[in-house]
Structure 1
């Protein structure tokens, strides 16, 4: 289990599939929020507090990204409390209440590239999957490729991950942030469009 502080209110935790197996958790079970998964989550939060000082206080949002061969990346963000809820928390400070957890299983994967040439190289390398749904964004001087993995077979997903990792990295920015603040360059058909104009 690896912990990385991403900001004042955000932390990323990586759990390998070996870690899950040691805890008796199957890959599909990670989304079922059973007892073992809840125990794992609070172990993660304890590790995050001990290693980087990230403390759960109030509502948090959790995003999880599965990686075909490596494991699961979990991004936990502290969510600002609604004013009346904050007052309620003060009034009921003696009560031992669990924080609200908003869980989102991502339906796609977001990769970040330092420059446009790396995006083109990645697009050329995955030319066999022209029909995949991929959107290209520009945000803070870097390029982001959001790939929807809903229609891909597991073997295809593994191959795509390996290729994209050669030219870019898994992004910690979410698609929602890109939709709000980034510039959408190509929607849905990014791989096909890039090869059409730059091949």
Structure 2
């Protein structure tokens, strides 16, 4: 489980499917809200407080995005507490029931996103995707010093979806970013048909 601060009142949590399995949670469980999900959220908030000093008091907006190769991305935004003027210690808060005032939105995305440190790896992956007749689509971004290749399921035959993920995993690593984050903080290098464009421009 990886936690990072996006702003003073917002954090992002990335859970791989291995993280979920270690806690006895299957992917589909994220949509059913069993008691173990409540335990998972308590664990995440405790870790966020320990690592980042993020105090999840007051109303929270929780966005959950499930992705096929990456796992789960959870963005927690803290609103203004109704008890902002109260001077209560953390120990007193812990005596209360572990209940959060949350507004949860859940979304599932089949977009496959992989990051590559070297552009040569992007070229190699693209050539293999085309040679294996898996796809010639995709968008290419530059983000946080890495190359991000995003492939939407609409441009991949359903029977080849897992093969695309397996091939990309040979050259890159799954990342916990969304299209919205890439559009806002990244740079679009190739807006469409990235695999085809890379293969045509880099022939060796």
TM-score bucket of the superposed structures, by smaller chain: 0.7 to 0.9
TM-score, length basis structure 1: 0.74
How many residue pairs align between the two structures?
182
1:99, 1:13 → 2: CA distance?
19
Q: CA RMSD in A?
A: 3.3
Answer yes or no: is 1:45 the counterpart of 2:41: yes
Structure 2: distance between partners of 1:150 and 1:18: 27
Rounded Cα–Cα distance in structure 2 between residues aligned with 1:155 and 1:118: 25
Pair 158,139 (structure 1): closer, same or farther in 2 beyond 3 Å: same
Name the SS of the counterpart of 1:172 in structure 2: coil
Q: TM (normalized to structure 2)?
A: 0.72
Asked if the contact 2:68/2:111 (under 8 Å) is kept, the reply is: no
Unaligned runs of 5+ in 2: 86-92
**Alignment equivalent of 1:130, drawn from 128, 135, 140:** 135
CA shift, 1:11, in A, is: 1.6
The change in CA–CA distance for 1:51 and 1:142 in structure 2 (over 3 A counts) is same
Equivalences for 1:178-189 in 2 at 5 Å?
A: 178-189=182-193
Give 5+ residue unaligned stretches, structure 1: none
Q: State how far apart, in whole Å, the 2-side matches of 1:48 and 1:18 are.
A: 12
Residues 135 and 156, structure 2, Cα contact 8 Å, conserved in 1: no
Which residue in 2 is equivalent to 1:106?
109
Say which one has the larger Rg: 2
Distance 1:89 1:50, change over 3 A: closer
